[in-house]
């Protein structure tokens, strides 16, 4: 069963939690109990078998056949490697490559599976409705969600992205998805404004009634949906199993995890894996110049009223990290009253401060650090020159924060970095860094081929021929115009 972080809804089944996406009155679903497991029982599992074993612990009300069908995505050719999440050694640490899926980003690890979970949840609840999936994206979630739900019967998906706030490749990926049920909206604002507008829509009783009259329900493909977050727990178990198999750590020895994150879902999945009994040591939260999370761990105040920066790692250009609510709920002793108060203040005042005990618990569970653009570019160049390995800007954030931590702490524990995107998704930035200013003026498509020619790395298949693919119409609006767009597009009078 699943609870609300704000204590404002009765316990729900996994099918209800996944179908709803988020708590209608505000708040996020968390499992009532976090299962404790012995990781060694999964030692001989394939990735698909591991996903099956972990996920069935949280989805007991869904038919077993649903999960059996869902985990096939990891072995049916959608990923360009037989191991969908290979662990490779780079500079003395492990790089967990999570970008071998069809959209070349880590979101594929969950969003190729979510359609199975969502449609099964709707069926399990006996609902004869169409699901309208609303998804705000800072870059990668949008394409991965569109690709996962493209032409899935009984669903329509709308992705909202900040106009000018994603890379040219990310934008082109979204608008060339195709499918009769996919819609893309460019919002004149940043990601936080997109995300806040979508959350308000979810909590609108008036809109919910209009949907009901049209035999539709809202759901989400963002990591606010537990069905999106759950598959991400799996790859931290996989990372540990791979580290043991490769002899990089002994069984039961702890490993550290570093995650570049903006919306906090990816590192929250590592936190839940640790709570389940996986031998993880330090969890290191890495931010770019939009370092609201680092400031929180320093002072205990979360403040979104601050300058917003467009960086070379746009998927992390976020000031309101949705999944941080789940984390604070957990470390505060599952105090729904405190959690509700904090996030209501964030909504009304733009900031909140936690009590000393909660801050202490946060610091016991996680470390945070950040780097500026200069640090990102220096790291990309250094790793390529020393290790002949390409980092995208997001993964470079993680590497720089990890290097700083290792230097300052002297901690020599084997550490795994989650590599969240192919460097080719940000080819212009990466090529300019490693090859110099002569490539600064080249366009995004020339940069793709140039980076491949220079390094010998293959362009991911999902990024090939993007410029020539037909693009769908993109609707443009202000954040406050999103509701009107949805009513006009999908709801009858």
Query: Coil, helix or strand for 161?
Result: strand
Percent of the chain with pLDDT over 70: 100
User: Which helix H or strand E contains 240, and what residues bound it?
Assistant: helix 226-245
Q: What is the pLDDT of residue 455?
A: 95
Q: What is the pLDDT of residue 388?
A: 96
362-383 average pLDDT score = 97
Q: What is the pLDDT of residue 493?
A: 56
Q: What is the pLDDT of residue 256?
A: 98
Q: What is the pLDDT of residue 441?
A: 76
107-124 average pLDDT score = 94
The DSSP result for 41-84, as a single string, is: GGTT--HHHHHHHHHHTT-TTS-HHHHHHHGGGGTSSSSSSSSS
Instruction: List % helix, strand, coil for the chain (3-state, nearest 5).
Output: 50, 15, 35
Which pLDDT band holds residue 444 (cuts at 50, 70, 90)? confident
Q: Is 107 among the residues known to form the active site?
A: yes
Which pLDDT band holds residue 477 (cuts at 50, 70, 90)? very high
| pLDDT tens, residue by residue, 220-267 | 998 999 999 999 999 999 999 999 999 999 999 999 999 999 899 999
271-289 average pLDDT score = 98
Q: Would you say residue 346 has pLDDT above 60?
A: yes
With vertex at residue 239, the alpha carbon angle to CA 236 and CA 241, rounded to the nearest 5 degrees, is: 110
Contact 434, 427 (CB under 8 A): no
Q: Which of 56, 107, 143, 210 is catalytic?
A: 107
Q: The pTM is what?
A: 0.95
Contact 103, 169 (CB under 8 A): no
């Amino acid at each position: 069963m699943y609870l609300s972080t704000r204590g404002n809804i009765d316990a729900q089944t996994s099918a209800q939690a996944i179908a709803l996406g988020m708590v209608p009155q505000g708040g996020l679903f968390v499992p009532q109990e976090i299962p404790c497991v012995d990781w060694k029982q999964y030692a001989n599992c394939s990735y698909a078998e591991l996903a099956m074993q972990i996920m069935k612990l949280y989805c007991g009300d869904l038919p077993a056949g649903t999960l059996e069908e869902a985990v096939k995505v990891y072995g049916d050719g959608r990923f360009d490697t037989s191991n969908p999440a290979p662990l490779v050694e780079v500079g003395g640490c492990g790089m967990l490559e999570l970008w071998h899926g069809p959209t070349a980003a880590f979101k594929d690890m969950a969003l190729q599976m979510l359609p199975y979970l969502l449609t099964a949840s709707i069926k399990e609840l006996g609902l004869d409705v169409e699901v309208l999936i609303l998804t705000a994206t800072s870059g990668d979630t949008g394409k991965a969600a569109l690709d996962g739900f493209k032409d899935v019967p009984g669903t329509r998906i709308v992705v909202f992205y900040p106009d000018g706030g994603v890379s040219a490749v990310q934008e082109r990926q979204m608008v060339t998805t195709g499918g009769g049920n996919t819609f893309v909206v460019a919002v004149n604002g940043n990601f936080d404004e997109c995300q806040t507008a979508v959350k308000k829509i979810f909590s609108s009783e008036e809109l919910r009634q209009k949907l009901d009259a049209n035999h539709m329900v809202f759901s989400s493909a963002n990591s606010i949906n537990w069905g999106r977050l759950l598959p991400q727990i799996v790859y931290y178990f996989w990372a540990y199993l791979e580290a043991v198999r490769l002899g990089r750590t002994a069984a039961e020895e702890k490993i550290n995890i570093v995650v570049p994150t903006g919306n906090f879902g990816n590192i929250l999945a590592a936190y839940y894996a640790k709570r389940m009994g996986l031998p993880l040591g330090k969890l290191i939260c890495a931010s770019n110049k939009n370092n609201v999370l680092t400031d929180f761990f320093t002072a205990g105040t979360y403040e979104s009223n601050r300058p917003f920066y467009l960086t070379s790692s746009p998927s992390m250009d976020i000031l309101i990290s949705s999944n941080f609510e789940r984390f604070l709920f957990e470390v505060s002793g599952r105090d729904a009253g405190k959690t509700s108060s904090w996030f209501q203040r964030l909504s009304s005042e733009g900031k909140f401060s936690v009590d000393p005990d909660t801050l202490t618990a946060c610091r016991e569970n996680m470390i945070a650090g950040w780097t500026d653009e200069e640090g990102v570019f220096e790291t990309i160049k250094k790793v390529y020159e020393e290790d002949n390995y390409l980092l995208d800007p997001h993964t470079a954030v993680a590497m720089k924060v990890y290097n700083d931590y290792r230097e300052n702490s002297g901690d020599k524990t084997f550490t795994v970095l989650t590599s969240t995107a192919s460097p080719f998704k940000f080819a212009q930035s990466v090529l300019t860094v490693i090859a110099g200013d002569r490539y600064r003026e080249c366009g995004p498509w020339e940069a793709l081929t140039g980076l491949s020619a220079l390094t010998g790395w293959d362009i991911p298949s999902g990024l090939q021929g993007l410029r020539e693919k037909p693009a769908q119409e993109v609707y443009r609006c202000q954040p406050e115009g999103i509701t009107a767009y949805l009513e006009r597009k999908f709801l009858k009078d």
